[in-house]
Amino acid sequence: MTKKTRKLADIITAFGTSDGSGVKLKRCISRRRQDLLDPFILLDEFCTDNPDDYIGGFPEHPHRGFETVTYMLAGAMRHRDHMGNEGHLKPGSVQWMTAAHGVIHSEMPEQEQGRLHGFQLWINLPASEKMKPPHYQEFGAEMIPVVPLADGAYVKVIAGEFISDSGKVTGPVTGVATRPLYFDVLLTEGQDIHIPVGEQQTVLIYVYEGDLNVDDSDNSLTEGQLGLLMPGTDIELKTRGYDCRFLVLAASPIGEPVVQSGPFVMNTHEEIEQAFRDYRDGRLTL
Ligand code: FE2
């Protein structure tokens, strides 16, 4: 297979907003880009030292038709759902929730002071998976492989395979319809990294600290920016100056119509109306 390095196609800058009960967020996937970003629906970063910005949390709310992925860097969240499942998301842990037919849950900070920092990614499901029973994959920091690089840099492999000269490392999240990669990377000053990716996949880079060059272009990604990459087999990333921390996200596009309304992501308006009716009548969950 001929190697083709992916170039930067577009930069989406996060905007400040709030969700849940007043949780302040940086949000950087918007609905007008959903076709290009297929199967990604939304990426939120919450990062604050001020409890007023997060203490309200995300009280009980529904989801249907997609997956939510919560990855914590600092602080802790308590998760409870309609099935009696309870999870404690600590720093470095990931919760991969396949909401599918329906989940009603709450996500509340489990601290009254200190920093809360993490991400929530929404990934769509194909029509054939949208009405299946919901399920979870949860992994603590100790379950997520860390590939060390020079100078203290690293790649944390949450989902998918990270392939380098030293071999292949596979993340603990498995069995996801869109075959995602989810890496959390730290590069130090002047470092670069090469990551093979699926040629047909949608690839995004989200920088949450520092600046990053993509394929030696003059356009760098800076803190709070999401880069959408053009098609290709490989990505080449290099820091500009200081340390840089970023997420590498890739997944296979689904290629189906996307109709979203709030916490429901379906294929048609009729299915969205059905989801609202089911939620109202207590039939969202199985
Ligand atoms: Fe939620």
Q: 45 CA distance to ligand 1 centroid (A)?
A: 14
Q: 97 CA distance to ligand 1 centroid (A)?
A: 9
Task: Count Cβ atoms within 10 A of the Cβ of residue 240 and give its class: 0-12 exposed, 13-18 middle, 19 or more buried.
Answer: middle
pLDDT bracket for residue 85 (50, 70, 90): very high
- Sorted by where each begins, the domain ranges of the chain are 8-280
Task: Flag whether pLDDT at 91 surpasses 80.
Answer: yes
Amino acid occupying residue 27: R
Sheet holding 23-27, edge to edge: 15-19, 23-27, 40-48, 116-124, 66-74, 94-98, 135-139
CA distance 98 to 80: 14
Amino acid occupying residue 190: G
Q: 64 CA distance to ligand 1 centroid (A)?
A: 10
Closest listed residue to residue 42, CA positions, set 165, 177, 206: 206
At residue 56, the pLDDT reads 96
pLDDT digits (tens, 9 = 90+) for 169-221: 999 999 999 999 999 999 999 999 999 999 999 999 999 999 999 987 777 99
Q: 1 CA distance to ligand 1 centroid (A)?
A: 40
pLDDT bracket for residue 165 (50, 70, 90): confident
Percent of the chain with pLDDT over 70: 99
pLDDT digits (tens, 9 = 90+) for 243-272: 999 999 999 999 999 999 999 999 999 999
CA distance 68 to 81: 13
pLDDT digits (tens, 9 = 90+) for 131-148: 999 999 999 999 999 999
Burial call 26-38: b when 16+ CB within 10 Å, e when fewer: bbbbeeeebeebb
Q: 81 CA distance to ligand 1 centroid (A)?
A: 10
Q: 44 CA distance to ligand 1 centroid (A)?
A: 12
Q: Which residue has the tokens 């921390």?
A: 245
Q: 39 CA distance to ligand 1 centroid (A)?
A: 18
Task: Flag whether pLDDT at 8 surpasses 70.
Answer: yes
CA distance 180 to 161: 9
State mean pLDDT over 42-61: 95
CA distance 116 to 238: 28
At residue 166, the pLDDT reads 86
pTM: 0.96
SS3 at position 127: helix
At residue 31, the pLDDT reads 67
At residue 168, the pLDDT reads 97
At residue 24, the pLDDT reads 95
Q: 60 CA distance to ligand 1 centroid (A)?
A: 8
Q: 118 CA distance to ligand 1 centroid (A)?
A: 14
pLDDT bracket for residue 30 (50, 70, 90): low
CATH topology for 8-280?
Jelly Rolls (2.60.120)
